[in-house]
Amino acid sequence: MKWMLEGSSCVDFVTQRSLYEVREHPSKTYSWVAFMLANICAKLPWSTLMSPTGAVTERRALLFLLIWSFLMFTSTFTHMIIASVDVAENGGNIATLLFSLTILFCSVLVLPSKFPGFWIFMYHVSPFTYLVNVMLSISLTNAPAICSSVEVSVFLSNVNATSQCEFCAITDTNAFLSQVNSFYDHCWRNFGLMWAYVAFNVCKFLY
């Protein structure tokens, strides 16, 4: 939903930029940097107003900061794209395409081990890789895993038994998280990487 709202803001940005280029820029009222920073700062309150969730204090705070950094990423990413495109529709299409690619290669749909050799780099450069890893780690770390009736392996180890034996492949969620390269120890590092993406977007559209 947030991404769709950011896409629709491209039209407003193009209108504001057109006004800046024909009025403020020729008269040197303020610079391009001031114009772009004003657009970002105007969205800070809206990107900050949200409710943190979770049951553990540190995890709740980290999830709040993570979602905040993601909202700032979407805002700055949209500005980075539309700042270099004249037509709002073209900017929205490019932003949607790039955003879709980041989702496709973040290991939610396909594990990194299943990627074709050439595309593995997309797993490492996608900001969603680090976003999803942190969200999984915060939500599932150190929790017991209970298999449902369709997930257990059923076998017969004693011919005289009155029922079959059942085996669950994992006993805790950490085993599952390790399969998708999600580790709680990497949470704060990945949170810092999200802000590195935000900083890159800001530098790109300012200069």
Q: What is the largest CA-CA distance in the chain?
A: 93
* 199 has a pLDDT exceeding 90: yes
Nearest C-alpha neighbor of 84 from the set 27, 195, 26, 10: 10
pLDDT at position 161: 53
CA distance 172 to 187: 19
Using 50, 70 and 90 to split pLDDT, how confident is the model at 55? very low
Is 149 a member of any domain?
no
Using 50, 70 and 90 to split pLDDT, how confident is the model at 138? confident
Q: Which domain holds residue 107?
A: 2-143+172-206
Nearest C-alpha neighbor of 176 from the set 130, 142, 132: 142
pTM higher than the cut 0.85: no
> Residue 154, by phi and psi: left (phi above 0), alpha (psi -120 to 50) or beta?
beta
Nearest C-alpha neighbor of 177 from the set 131, 142, 147, 152: 142
Is 58 a member of any domain?
yes
Is 104 a member of any domain?
yes
Is 84 a member of any domain?
yes
pLDDT at position 117: 80
- Count CB-CB contacts under 10 A for residue 75: 24
The DSSP output letter for 84 is T
* 1 has a pLDDT exceeding 70: no
pLDDT at position 152: 60
Using 50, 70 and 90 to split pLDDT, how confident is the model at 150? low
Burial bucket for residue 146 (CB in 10 Å: 0-12, 13-18, 19+): exposed
pLDDT at position 54: 43
Poorest-pLDDT segment among 29-33, 45-49, 58-62: 45-49
Q: How many domains does one find in the chain?
A: 1
pLDDT at position 52: 46
Distance of alpha carbon 207 from its chain centroid, rounded?
24
